[in-house]
Chain A
């Protein structure tokens, strides 16, 4: 992974809007987690979200596929307004892929079954076709030979790549990543990031919570810094890292890049 390669940054973004968030607020009980979030994501954009622990990054991207409910404001994903209507939610979820910190593979199913489950049951795809697609994406993340093993038999890095393949099998138009590498041993981080870079190069719309700043520099169009439930600063990666405006961003960057 070459840090200086920023050529991908501005490619492949269209004028089409993928996600619009307007004046979104969320509370856990009395605790105000997200305050007045405004964010527009163009199709093909790669956004990296960073910020201190507890700042609401996970909550923000989990609101986008309605894993968390927001209480105020509006979220529009792919032209569909997120409301409590179950039909809308299922529709959005099948268009938006998500990868979790702890992979969340289904341990009782084989790798292949993990990948074919949603296409078969949500998209009503015939089993043979679903398996073909699954093998295609498993090849893409470079673990086709593990297809008949169970998740427990794979390393963390392999499991996370399976999780990515599992999401891709639904042919999502948007991918969300919540700290996909932070539960991994250092030697496995690269294999997962490489997979994500490849995905970015194919023009996938991506929102990625991560502290891998090399990855942010290489593929992001925009880096968003969050603190205390607010978007404090957002900018192109070069500007963001070299020239942070707010004091909190500077402090955060000095901590994270300092060692």
Chain B
């Protein structure tokens, strides 16, 4: 959960958005919304591998309260670094977190 600073309409629903443009409420997320968020990131179709990463991220977030870094992703999600970047170009951890309805990973300070 992060502080809502704006609202956004996705699939006819008005959702709260945080300062990074990510969903502010975990509970607003579902698979259809994920598909829409993916399109905003330039990913037209979410395939099985995408879902493997997204589901893993949501699990880590539920367990630890923070979205995983790229390092943790490649170590534990079963998808290697190269493939992660192919799935979510430029910033896998950041992009996958956004599509998974989570706040931006805290990694970068």
Q: Do A and B bind each other?
A: no
